[in-house]
Structure 1
Amino acid sequence: MDQQQSFFDFAAPRLGELLPQNVEFVSFDFETTGLDSFRDRILEIGAVSWRQGKTKETFSSLVRPGIPVPPASTAVHGITDDDLLDAPDEKGALVSFLRFIEGKVAVAHNLPFDYGFLESSVDRLGLSLGDTLFIDTLTLSRRVYPGLPSYALGNLITFLNLFQEDAHRALSDASDCGRLFFRCLDEDKQMLKMTIDELITYSRSRKYKR
């Protein structure tokens, strides 16, 4: 049986009590020019919205960052300067992404990395995150599967036998993050007793702007 379906088959009555009926999660991932959220820039955005554990919509966009793409970065995700010539600029891409996640609960793996880039970009471009809430699947997976040698997203996908394709591209990694999130909920029934705010607190080690 599909893991997402099994989770919601089990949890639907409790979710109906704790969560708004129209709650949506959106898993997202960024590919970037490097690791420094102030100096480097977002190159690609991928996001998947989920309703009742099933994919509802996807968002995918390359981003013209305004700085060259370092060869070391291209070696990871394969994105080159030429790939970005016709991509929207930072502000245009982020405005579209922020509209996509508006009103949803955003989920990322190793949230401090992606959130750091999002926060830095939003502040620099004069945008706003609005009331978006954030959950970190890295923290959740460490709680649900203690003692693993690695909690990298790709390694968790392999460990859990979840299908993965096109690793280190934003949309694929966003999809994997979402499926990991629902698998964690399926494994740890304690989380089914939590409200959204409690689950958010459970999944992170520092406060993120709302």
Structure 2
Amino acid sequence: MSYGSKKYRAPNVVFFDLETTGFDRPIRPVQIGAIDSWGANTYNQFVWPRRHVHPKATLTNKFYVSRGTLFRQGEGALDTTDLEDALYSFLDWLSSLGGNVVLVAHKCLDYDAKVLLRNLEEFNIPYEHVILGFSDSLLASRDLYPVAPSHKLSSMLGEVGLPIRESHDALVDADDCRRICRRMAGQRRLKFLDFVFDEKWYHTLDDQWEWTFPGGVVTV
């Protein structure tokens, strides 16, 4: 199986999550969290978004900006990296894993992947040499567990037999996504890579680019 690549190389599956400024564009990450498929390597970076956090987003993720500083409620000021530097840093970390990366997230295709690509394109940061495609655990959960009462990340933890928690921390959510996907694949007796690359919830990089920028017009 080629898993979407013209010349097969073993893909690196990485689970990620973006906590963001929320609802009005440009949507910026305020935290990038990621973990490899074995849970051995992690990335966690708070990001200076160069803008405010939408109040409705703050209600959910607890991040807010005040006087040029990023805060998370209950923690105080956060040590951040500037937006553009953080994007480069994330890609450097993915490259350090060997590149050829498939990024997996919950609601990936309609949110996390779009936010990531819009920001990378805006700052002209090359990523085609690192990212192979994107896979969406939310779409997978809807397909594989159609009678589950809810398919949000915290609910799916319970659905696959893991302790339920709802953190809205990017690294914790990325790891929860990883554990859910491992369980879903195992419970449905699917090979892990077959699960990740299922066409019902996987986009190649080209597919996702077209999904993010319909008509070929780059927007932020």
TM-score by length of 1: 0.77
Once the two structures are superposed, the pairs formed by residues 170-209 of structure 1 within 5 Å of their partners are 170-189=170-189, 191-192=190-191, 199-204=197-202, 207-209=207-209
Q: Indicate the structure with greater helix content.
A: 1
- Counterpart residue number, 1:70: 54
Amino acid at match of 1:39: P
The answer to whether 1:153 aligns with 2:171 is no
Q: Which has the higher contact order (CA 8 A, sep 6+)?
A: 1
Could you say what the CA RMSD is over the residues aligned between the two structures, in angstroms? 2.6
SS of residue matched to 1:29 = strand
Of 30, 43, 46 in structure 2, the residue corresponding to residue 43 of structure 1 is: 30
The answer to whether 1:88 aligns with 2:76 is no
Q: Indicate the structure with greater strand content.
A: 2
Unaligned runs of 5+ in 1: 1-18
- Counterpart residue number, 1:8: none
SS of residue matched to 1:179 = helix
Distance 1:92 1:74 in 2: 23
Q: 1:135–1:203: 8 Å Cα contact kept in structure 2?
A: yes
Distance 1:152 1:165 in 2: 11
- Counterpart residue number, 2:106: 109
1:129 Cα shift?
A: 2.3
Structure 1 residues 85 and 57: alpha-carbon distance in aligned structure 2, compared to 1, 3 A threshold: closer
SS of residue matched to 1:55 = coil
- Counterpart residue number, 1:16: none
The answer to whether 1:58 aligns with 2:42 is yes
Alignment coverage as a number of residue pairs:
185
What stretches of structure 1 move > 4 A for 4+ residues in a row? 193-196
TM-score by length of 2: 0.74
Q: 2:137–2:201: 8 Å Cα contact kept in structure 1?
A: yes
Unaligned runs of 5+ in 2: 1-7, 72-76, 211-220
